[in-house]
Structure 1
């Protein structure tokens, strides 16, 4: 008999804690249905970007301005809002609406941006199109060297506040690990109303092509080693924030899923492994988790957070002790 895998994330009931993260496999209704059919607990759609929304808003405004001096009797020439509807946004919302009606698991919309502004109002349209929740991917690289860490953090809080004022569905914030105090920002986002924290976004770091002397942007699939950083912070945050904790990056096999759950994750997200091995690899992850629980005799809730930082421990002292122990072990092994 398979171990029960039902769980909750963002206040939503999920049939299992393995979730497809935002990525290229969710670009069609058939693709989203295929993901849902593998037994996943939820699907996060690919992201709609702030830049796409802003370009469309600017194009609409320019078109309206071209007609503003038309003769009052020529109102039929004034562009209808439906005609000037944003192309990328409209396609995204239509896909969201169709896919949400076609699957029986939660479908989470993804909105990606880095500044405050009107683009966040698109979140309401995502809710109206049928999104069960919203993942707010704040991808912000502060290239302005005069910007302080406090200003960077406030930017995240302001974007969250803008979206939370717009929608009533749950909102998860996907953020990077590059802050002076990740834990403190997570606490502040939690207090500001974030329903979930997705740890972590991967900054796409360009390389240099020596033959052509060019900077080459690129996307690489994550590796299992990348799970250590988000797993560490999830272990610290477990039971210390109200928000759900979602793990992402570094999931290759069922063992990686189990490790994240032992650290305290509510759900474990993956795209790289599904791109690498195909959508059906999700079944392998789900079945592997179920088999591990059966083998250990643990329930999902018993396993979750079993190896998190103890609630009564000083997280600073706990992590420092682990650091010292690791270095002492390295000296014995390599010295």
Structure 2
């Protein structure tokens, strides 16, 4: 366990929250339960992002409840309006809010809720519920594939901006982060727009799940694959470019698997590193291991704190900024040998 002096060297800030380190488990099955969250806190997590509350799941539960009450009414007309609901029945949002409240009552680290909505009303209403339950911040997990030939890139951006407008009006004081895709036409411009309408942080980037096509059945099947370390390179490039131009908090997610990955993300300008796959593969204990290895690297390279190196190789500070844009395209091609 790091001592108080060492902990100060790892300090980070995100969504206005003072964190003991940039190591924050992202939304995953590990953050879906109180026991999982407590285990992550004990292992050194600086904050957690809860698993997402899905509006579709809430809609399904409400439809089920409506059907149950309807059937009760048909069968108990003599009960003069008394329609008993099973004590054990809890809707998705009730279970989520109970879990959030329990975490906030017992954990010392910040708890950031995650919301995956469908409708503007749903985004706004669920955000209000999460704020009332005590969330320290809210991550908007906008999981949307632009697959309509009639929908332009401006339409796609407008969808995100409309969601943020709706949520921000609903929770004017709650710190907001938006989890975005890497597939925007102009990510820096879009992130600048998000900041202008009240977003406090962006999470880079959402990992869209890719289905598998089975030749025998000629059907698509969902595939859940954990991230790989090489996914980090795309994120580092855009973090470095964004950090130099937009004053907004940045979380990196996807491809963070080692202490070296955390240090690289800090150098490019990330405020925190969100992790899930490495924790699911190696267990929560990897957080302490990363802390130790980061401190050892800082000692070897004479850094007093992570804040000292944050953004040191961003687009503004890089010795060769064009490397982030073209990745030394010609030199890279010429370097290949059979």
Compute the TM-score of the two structures, normalised by the length of structure 2.
0.88
Aligned residues: 331
Which residue among 270, 282, 298 is the counterpart of 1:277? 282
1-side partners of 2:287 and 2:238: how far apart?
A: 25
Which residue of 2 is the match for residue 132 of structure 1? 136
Residue 313 (structure 1) shift = 10
Contact 1:96 1:131 in 2 (8 A): yes
Q: Does 1:220 align with 2:232?
A: no
Q: Can you list the C-alpha shifts for 1:293-313, whole angstroms capped at 9, x where unaligned?
A: 222121211110001001799
Structure 2 unaligned segments of length 5 or more: list them.
Answer: none
Residue 285 (structure 1) shift = 1.7
Residue 127 (structure 1) shift = 1.4
Which residue among 3, 9, 22 is the counterpart of 1:4? 9
3-state SS of the aligned residue for 2:335? helix
1:251-266 equivalences under 5 Å are: 251-266=256-271
1:56-75 equivalences under 5 Å are: 56-59=61-64
Which residue of 1 is the match for residue 316 of structure 2? 310
Contact 1:254 1:288 in 2 (8 A): yes
Contact 2:252 2:270 in 1 (8 A): yes
2-side partners of 1:74 and 1:276: how far apart?
A: 54
1:148-163 equivalences under 5 Å are: 148-163=152-167
Q: Does 1:37 align with 2:42?
A: yes
Residue 79 (structure 1) shift = 7.5
3-state SS of the aligned residue for 1:142? coil
Which residue of 2 is the match for residue 90 of structure 1? 94
Q: Can you list the C-alpha shifts for 1:142-197, whole angstroms capped at 9, x where unaligned?
A: 22221111111000001111111112220100011111111111111111110110
Structure 1 unaligned segments of length 5 or more: list them.
Answer: none
RMSD over aligned CA atoms reads 2.9
Contact 1:53 1:86 in 2 (8 A): no
Residues 114 and 201 (structure 1), Cα distance of their counterparts in 2 relative to 1, 3 Å cut: farther
1-side partners of 2:262 and 2:205: how far apart?
A: 15
3-state SS of the aligned residue for 2:120? coil
2-side partners of 1:75 and 1:130: how far apart?
A: 39
Contact 1:47 1:111 in 2 (8 A): yes
Residue 62 (structure 1) shift = 6.2
Which residue among 164, 167, 170 is the counterpart of 1:166? 170
Residues 312 and 115 (structure 1), Cα distance of their counterparts in 2 relative to 1, 3 Å cut: farther
Residue 333 (structure 1) shift = 3.2
Which residue of 1 is the match for residue 110 of structure 2? 106
2-side partners of 1:311 and 1:185: how far apart?
A: 22
Contact 2:34 2:102 in 1 (8 A): yes
Compute the TM-score of the two structures, normalised by the length of structure 1.
0.89
